[in-house]
Every structure is written in C-alpha cells, then in structure tokens.
Amino acid sequence: MEAGNRAVEGEQWYDFYPWEEWLASEADRVLLVDIGRSKGHDLARFKEKKNPAGRLILQDLSEVIQDIQAPLAQGIEAQGYSMFDPQPIRGAKAYYMRTVLHDWPDKQALQALQRIREAMADDSVLLINENSVPVTGVSRFNASVDLIMTTVLSSLQRTEKQWLSLLERAQFNVIKLALTYPLAMGDFGPPVPIPETEVIGLASSSLTDPEEVSVLVTGFGPFKTNLVNASYLIASSLPESLDLPSAKPSGSGPTSRRISIHVHPSPIPVAYSTVRTTIPTILEDYAKSHGGRRPDIVLHMGIAATRSYYSIETKAHRDSYHLSDIKGRIGYEDGEKVWREQQLPPVLQAGPAADSTDVVRKVLHPQPPNDDFLNTWKSFVSPGADVRISEDAGRYLCEFIFYTSLAQAFQQGQHRNVVFFHVPGSCADEDIERGTDIAAGLIKALTVVKHDIGFYRIRICVEFPVGKDSDAFRQLPSNPETSSNTNPDSIPNHIGNIAL
C-alpha cells in the first residue's frame, strides 16, 4: 500500500531530506518559515503528512495572504511580508524558498538572501528548492524558460555553478547539495543515479525528441440548465494540430514538435453509467485507429459554472458522487460500488505506472500539476489570462470522468497521463475563442513537461557565514563514477547525481 501511495502522490522534499534529525528544535520555536509560497500548499502537505512539532510560518505579500480563503491547518500561521524587507521572524530553525529566486536577477536575489541571513540564529539553516540547468545540452524547455525569464523579469535559469556563486556572495556556506530529476508535472522525488551510458543514450533517444505528440480530447454534452456545454464547443474548436517551437540550434534536429489533437466526435453524455462504459471504448477505438498506440495525453474538459477562471484539476476521488445526472441517477452503483470492489485507491492523480522501474522512463513520468507547471502554462497563454490549479474537481461528472480515466490506466499498469480542464460556462463567441486559446496553451504546456528533459531540481541546504577555511565548493563531490575531482569547475554538466 505504501508503494502504491508513493506512486500516486509522488515524493516531496521532506520524504528524503532528514528534517527530523537536522531540524530538531524546541516545540515553541518557529520550525520553518516558507517564504513566497502563495497560499501555503507546501506547508499544508508537510503538516498533514509529517505533523512536525514547532510553528510553521507562511510568508507572502499582504495581498496574497489576504486572498487565502480556505482556513490554514492548525499550527500554520500566515504573515504578510516582502522578502526584500527585514525578516520579522528571527531565529527560526529553517527558512525555505521554493522556485522563488529564479524570478529575480542576482542583485535582488542577493538582497532577499541577505534579509534571511540577518535573521538567522547560529543553528538556523536555509533550504532552497530550485531548478538548475546544465551548462551544455540544455533542453528546449529550459532554453525557452530562460528566454522568458530574461525578457519578462530580467532574470535567468541558473546553472549549478551560478547558484553556488550566488550563495557564496550572500555569505552562506553550502553544507548539502542534492540533485534530483524531473517527474514532469509534479514535484521531484529523491535522487536517482543515472549511469553515464544511459545519459549519453538519452541525448539521441526518440523519447526526448518525438516526431509527434498525440492528444485525445473530450467535452461534455448538455445537462440541467446548461442547454449547450461550453466544454465541447471549446474542444471542437481546437485545431487538428499544433506546432511547438523547438529551442534546438538550426541543423541539429527538428525545429518544431508537432502535436496531433484528436477530439472525440460527439459530446460525452452527462451520465455516470455512460461515462464508465464509454471511456474504455473511446480509448480502445483510438488505439485501433492509430496502429495500437495509445494517446500520449488524455485531456477531458467540462464546465464549472460558478468559476470565471480556467483551471486544471490535481486529483479525483473514488467516492461520494451524490449529485444526480441527466438520468436521475447518483454515482454509487456505476462508480463507488464497482471501484471499491476492485480495491481502487480513494484518490487518484496523474502519475507513473506502479511497476515502472526503468531509469529512462523515470524522467518522463506524469505527475499532478503544481506551481511550476502553472508558470509553464501561463507562458503559453495571453498575458492576464486567469488560469489556476484546482484541488476540487466538484464530485460530479467532471471528477467522475477524471477518476474513470485514471482508474483504467491504473488497472492496466499504464502511466496515468490524464488531465481534467475546467472552463467557465459561458458560450459567448469571445469566451469560446478565449477558452480555445487557453486550452491550446494547456496542451502545449502538457507537451513540454511530458516530453522535455535535460533539467533537474537542485536542492540546497546552507548555513552561514562562509569562513576562510570552510571552502564550501570543494566539499561538493562530482559523480564518483565519472570523476574524483571535486573542483566546482569540473562538476559534470550531464545529468548526474550529487548527494552529500
């Protein structure tokens, strides 16, 4: 059961970082200050799964904190704060920053780091969870994100050496560095050693440069007062294909990736029994007409009439579908009862096949969308488009079809490359056009995170200050299988594994 849950939910930093040992502290002391993490999803998961002793503080701009609607878990406190101001929480055991500093050029990043250092006690640590790019062989995704960061924020995607240099200038001493690998849409799991021969093979593998990505799209039909369903109007308005520009230099390979979009030719009836029997048939028919190949991505669409924004859902539940469908039936007989008999998990998310162990495919596993994915999605839509990540799919047919698709992949031992996209209910021409553009951007973002590799997550634990004899850089070993030289200039730029 533990292995199954890990496969479904993915692993977080606290699953492999020895926080109980390294962050041991008094119960009344602030254990961790999470800086710039919006509505506190990371802290909430940490509290729920590990229940640490000590206070947990969430910090973000006052307007962001005021926008939090759901009550925070007991033991988590929210505080309005700009990271460029003096840090009000002094002497916390740990300060945590995830995907924050990459938004800022070195000058501002240094200022933020200095504000933290000024507040730290002798035994405090700073935990940084960020992307790091290799010096050579940069993926299309990283190249495009680097350009976006440069043009929009005057920032950059830093290399490992640039991160270490930044921290040294801020007078921090790096005491632990762990490189881990991307699991596509979600957070990154524990370090996975990849032999050098495997890395060389990946460089030219068709997995990293597929000629075409296939996407199967469905939309719903009318129900209740919704005589026309905007989700199917948007789905049927999508083009048959999209081209995703490549960051490869001219002459080094294809300059674009083709995305083939197959929209199911009729709207899905809003009925539990129909969904449960139709989805397997749709996937079988797709495979038959595509030489036995399953779609790379399955994208279901539905409306959320009470929402004015566009959202991608993170999870689907097995139980409690109590709202009646167009046949007047609830979802127990055609869903919960059957799924319980099949001993399916109460919650399913996008994720890898439970028995998948091969190294190469570890970098291509789907995972639930997170803030990093949201930023990628935003880069493909018009500025100001209101796109969000949702954790509540509604316990109606939208969530039901999501669970149905996830469950089928789960039972068949397939990767759960399934996504649910909620759109507003308006059928006005301008709203359908806007929704189509946002859906196309979502498909591009899904394609990027599913297929591009060549970047990894860098996790850094630092203490201060850097002493004359600490020589933090030389404490970082390179991959022992490839080199014994510990000079930072010789750290391998291929995908490697460094963990102290």
pLDDT in tens, the chain (500 residues): 222 333 333 457 787 778 888 888 787 899 999 998 777 778 888 888 888 888 999 999 988 888 887 788 888 999 999 999 999 999 999 999 988 888 888 889 999 999 999 999 988 989 988 877 777 666 666 666 677 767 766 777 788 888 888 888 888 888 777 665 443 333 333 333 333 322 222 222 233 334 689 999 999 999 999 999 999 999 999 999 998 875 444 444 445 678 999 999 999 999 999 999 999 999 999 999 888 888 999 999 999 999 999 999 999 999 999 999 999 999 999 999 999 999 999 999 887 765 443 333 333 335 567 888 899 899 999 999 999 999 999 999 999 999 999 999 989 888 889 999 999 999 999 999 999 999 999 999 998 875 443 333 444 555 444 433 333 333 333 333 333 333 333 333 322 222 22
CB 100 within 8 A of CB 116: no
In a domain, 488, yes or no: no
Residue 230: its H or E element:
helix 230-237
Q: Are residues 225 and 372 in the same domain?
A: yes
The CATH number given to whatever domain includes residue 147 is 3.40.50.150
- Do 230 and 262 lie in one domain? The reply is yes
User: What residues form DSSP beta bridges with 457?
Assistant: 131, 180
Specify the pTM: 0.51
As a whole number of angstroms, the distance between CA 306 and CA 139 comes to: 39
Could you say which of 102, 300, 365, 415 is catalytic? Answer: 102
> The sheet that has 456-463: what strands, in order across it?
76-80, 55-60, 30-35, 94-98, 125-132, 456-463, 173-180
Closest CA to 234 of 285, 300, 278, 297: 300
Q: Are residues 267 and 173 in the same domain?
A: no
Q: Are residues 299 and 399 located together in one domain of the fold?
A: yes
Would you state the pLDDT for residue 209?
Answer: 39
Amino acid at 299: L
Instruction: Clarify whether residues 28 and 164 are in a common domain.
Output: yes
The per-residue pLDDT for 169 is 86
Q: What is the pLDDT of residue 259?
A: 93
Domain boundary among 447, 472, 493: 447
Residue 64 phi, psi (nearest 5): -70, -45
pLDDT for the residue numbered 455: 32
Same domain? 402 vs 284: yes
Domain that holds residue 56: 13-181+454-463
> Is residue 201 included in any domain, yes or no?
no
Spatial contact of 371 and 377, defined as CB atoms under 8 Å apart: no
Q: Is 427 left (phi over 0), alpha (psi -120 to 50) or beta?
A: alpha
Same domain, 173 and 296: no
Query: Is 442 inside any structural domain?
Result: yes
- Alpha-carbon torsion 332, 334, 338, 340, what sign? negative
Cβ pair 215, 262 in contact under 8 A:
yes
Q: What is the pLDDT of residue 237?
A: 95
Q: What pLDDT shows up at residue 453?
A: 32
For residue 260, give the CATH number of its domain. Answer: 3.40.630.20
Number of domains in the chain: 2
What residues contact residue 325 under an 8 Å CB cut-off, 6+ apart? 223, 270, 271, 272, 331, 397
CA distance 188 to 183: 6
The whole-angstrom separation of Cα 177 and Cα 191 is 11
3-class SS of residue 396: coil
Is 2 contained in some domain?
Answer: no
pLDDT of residue 120: 92
481 located within any domain: no
CA-based angle 199:200:203, to the nearest 5? 90
pLDDT for position 368: 65
Q: Are residues 74 and 138 in the same domain?
A: yes
Q: Are residues 259 and 301 in the same domain?
A: yes
**What pLDDT score was predicted for residue 179?**
60
Q: Are 243 and 118 part of one and the same domain?
A: no
How many Cα atoms occupy the beta-carbon half-sphere of 280 within 13 Å?
Answer: 11
User: Do 370 and 436 fall into the same domain?
Assistant: yes
Residue 303 lies inside a defined structural domain of this protein: yes
Q: Is residue 477 part of a domain?
A: no
- 365 among known catalytic residues: no
Within-domain flag for 493: no
Residues 261 and 115 in one domain: no
